[in-house]
Structure formats: structure tokens, C-alpha cells
Amino acid sequence: MIIHVHPENPQPRAINTIVDTLQRGGVIIYPTDTIYGIGCDIFQHKAIEKICRIKNAEPTKTHLSFICYDLSDLSKYTKSISTPLYRMLRQYLPGPYTFILPASKEVPKMLKSKKDTIGLRVPDNNIARTIVRELGRPILSASLPGEMVEEYTDPEMIHGNFNKLVDIVVDGGIGAWTPSTVVDCTQDPPVVIRQGAGEWETYA
């Protein structure tokens, strides 16, 4: 199924359908402020396993992130962070960044990396954030497999490639061509481990 959602004013009926699918363990492909992502409810283990099968990778070895509505989820899913680090996150989010942070006990074990960390995102995208807000908790995010940029930016092509593997493709228009910038905040100072969309100033 493909659902067309207005990028600025997501239709409540469409969002409700998407959220209901996530609550029932469904897998969706949805827009962010960078490339399209594939995701599910972070507490639906079978859905997480399905995403990993699609990506042909193990959960702990796959780059999985949490899509959050805002930074209010920090205290629940990450260990306590310093005030300067929190200020930095507020400076860059919402935005095209993934921040690697120490995971709390609330994070499902299958989603933690071997280093006991998670990636956290607050994308500057109304569709993704509205889905998360209405769901009431973060959704999992992983990049789509593909060789050509159109395979993870064009919703029509994405639907053609993945409609038999996922429950919903959320069409929010053509996505950006560049993935998020990934910043490892478990080091001091934080280190950019992938330069993507968004400018990054050296943090001190």
C-alpha cells in the first residue's frame, strides 16, 4: 500500500492508518529530512527482525536509529548526558543529524550495538515527527538498500521495489539525496563518523 501524505500538513486520517499499522507490528517506509527510511515500532521485535531480513543484516550489526519527536525521549532511552552535550543537541535538532549516545536500560537489547549505544534522530520533517508523536514513542529507522539514489528517494520507485516486503510506503514527495551526518557523542569531544547532510562545526 502507498499512502500520499502532505509534507507540511499531514492528514490525520492517513497518520492514524500509519500509526495503527505500526502498533500492529507493521513495517513502513517513510520520508525524513534526508533520504527515505524503513522503520517500525521499537518494541515490535518481529517487525525489527523483518527489517533486518530486508537489509540482510543482524540487528546489532545494522545501523539502526530511533526517530524521536523531540529531545524529551533523551532521558528515557539514553543514559544521563552533560549539560554542554544537551545544549549541542538542542542546537542541531531537529535536523539532518544522527547522534550516537549511550543506551539506557529502556532500549530493547536487540537494538543496542555491541558498544551499548543507540543512534538518535529528530528529523526536520513533519510527516516523520507527526507519526512519532501520535504513536507516543520513537520508531526505528534504517536506511533502504539500493544501488541508485532513486531507489531510496523516489517514493514511486520505492513502492515498486518494496511493496511486497513492507505494509505501507508513505509518499511525502521526492526525498533528499544525502543521508544524515552521524556524530559519535560517546567520545569527548564528539566525532563525526559520517559527513552527510547538514553543516557541522567542531564542538568544544
Predicted confidence (pLDDT) per residue in 8-20, tens digit: 989 999 999 999 9
Tell me which H or E stretch contains 91: helix 83-92
Q: Which residues pair with 1 in a beta bridge?
A: none
Indicate the domain borders of the chain.
Answer: 2-194
Q: Examine the pLDDT at 169 and tell me if it is beyond 80.
A: yes
- In this predicted structure, what is the pLDDT of residue 171? 93
CA diameter of the chain: 47
Lowest mean pLDDT among 73-82, 108-117, 153-162: 108-117
- Print burial letters for 99-125: b (CB count within 10 Å at least 16), e (below 16): bbbbbbeebbeebbbeeebbbbbbbeb
The CATH architecture to which 2-194 belongs is: Alpha-Beta Complex (3.90)
The pairing of beta strand 139-143 with beta strand 37-39: antiparallel
Lowest mean pLDDT among 53-62, 142-151, 176-185: 53-62
- In this predicted structure, what is the pLDDT of residue 52? 85
- In this predicted structure, what is the pLDDT of residue 31? 95
- In this predicted structure, what is the pLDDT of residue 38? 93
pTM of the shown model: 0.88
pLDDT, tens digit (0-9, with 9 covering 90-100), for 44-92: 989 988 988 888 776 656 667 899 999 988 878 888 788 888 999 999 9
Q: CB count, 10 Å around CB of 129?
A: 20
